[in-house]
Amino acid sequence: MREEDSNWFSKWEDELPPPEELMPLSQSLITPDLALAFNIPSAHHQTPPPPPSHPPQSTALSSQPNSSAEFDSPELSGAGGGGGGGSGAAGSDEPARTLKRPRLVWTPQLHKRFVDAVAHLGIKNAVPKTIMQLMSVDGLTRENVASHLQKYRLYLKRMQGISNNGGAGNNSPAALSASGMDPATDHLFATSPVPAHFLHPGRPNSEHFLPFVPVAAMQHHHQMPVVGPGQHHHQQLQQQFRHFGSSPPNGQFENPFMRQSQPQVQRIGTPVHSSNGSGVPPAFGEDLESATATNGRKVLTLFPTGDD
């Protein structure tokens, strides 16, 4: 009889679903806004802005990990009283108006996407709104981008100053950030190589002829920037936005990803500008790249432009 015990345990253990499958469940059990509205501590996620109608993006970072992309609850609020929020909550729109989104965590990858977007838009067109659209990361707001952009510009300025002052030859991100000028966000910024033309204003570059692919196309639907043809890396992007919640004692949300220690370098690619005809709007970027462990600040930046 004893043997059976150990046996059933094994079996039981065997059938345990992977964590990935559990996560989404706990998330969709209650809509973020609802949770926040009701002050439920475990409530994670941001909350969709009160969409008078149905704003395209801006919310719905539900979805779930790589495993099954089928049962996502796309429209958390946009659906109108239908699917997602249909948990039975009645007039839940009232409090939703006052809710605050969690702070966005700019992971190296998210930043990478940002940089790519700016790079491909050209500095002239790289304004918050456009950048945001190009990035097509759901939940990302214009203000998120604007704020980030502001800081990024300062960073670029700093870099220019340095490079023409004596830093020539040594303008590797690490070195620059080490300059100790404004260590604020530099660590983040340093995780993504700065395209050369950012530093040389006034010079035409040869990177992006992107005919302004209005990623907005996807807006009327849900989900994320599922990118081109055989790519599968975008998963990560989803992931970072997905669980905002595990609010650390700080109130921020972390994504279980880069924050820990997973210097996983994926492939470096170039923007995908070819539509795949898959029905999904060809967002552009999709590459993931350097990763940093903000913990041990291990900035590994390998890059195509690397003259190393």
Partner DNA sequence: ACGCCAATAT
Partner DNA sequence: AATATTGGCG
Distances (CA, A) of 147 to 106, 151, 194, 224: 11, 7, 18, 22
252, two tokens: 């921020």
Residue closer to DNA, measured from CB, 28 or 219: 219
Nearer to DNA, 153 or 233 (CB): 153
- Find, among 242, 245, 287, the residue nearest to 63 by Cα: 242
- Under the criterion CB under 7 A, does residue 146 sit at the interface with DNA? yes
Q: How far is the CB of 130 from DNA (least distance, A)?
A: 6
Q: Is the CB of 148 or the CB of 208 nearer to DNA?
A: 148
Q: How many positions of this chain bind DNA (CB under 7 A)?
A: 28
By C-alpha distance, which of 14, 38, 41, 43 is closest to 28?
43
Among 153, 158, 197, 233, binds DNA (CB under 7 A): 153
Query: What value, to the nearest 5°, has the Cα angle with vertex 97 and ends 92 and 101?
Result: 105
Region near DNA per CB under 7 A, out of 14-22, 60-68, 143-151, 219-227? 143-151
Angstrom distance (rounded) from CA 115 to CA 298:
20
The reply to whether 149 sits near DNA by the rule CB under 7 A is: yes
Candidates 151, 158, 221, 273; binder of DNA (CB under 7 A) is 151
Q: What is the rounded CA–CA span in Å between residue 257 and residue 180?
A: 27
185 near DNA, rule: CB under 7 A: yes
* Single residue of 80, 81, 86, 183 touching DNA by CB under 7 A: 183
Q: How far is CA 12 from CA 5, 24, 42, 92, 286, in A?
A: 11, 21, 28, 39, 39
For residues 77-136, which are near DNA according to CB under 7 A?
Answer: 100-101, 103-106, 127-130
Question: How is residue 215 annotated by DSSP?
Answer: G
Span interacting with DNA, options 61-69, 112-120, 178-186, 236-244, rule CB under 7 A: 178-186
Q: In the complex, what is the shortest distance from the CB of residue 157 to DNA, in angstroms, rounded to a whole number?
A: 9
Q: Of the candidates 150, 170, 295, 305, which one interacts with DNA according to CB under 7 A?
A: 150
Q: What is the C-alpha to C-alpha distance for residues 204 and 197, in angstroms, rounded to an integer?
A: 8
> What is the rounded CA–CA span in Å between residue 237 and residue 220?
20
Site residues (CB under 7 A) for DNA?
100-101, 103-106, 127-130, 142-144, 146-151, 153-154, 183-188, 294
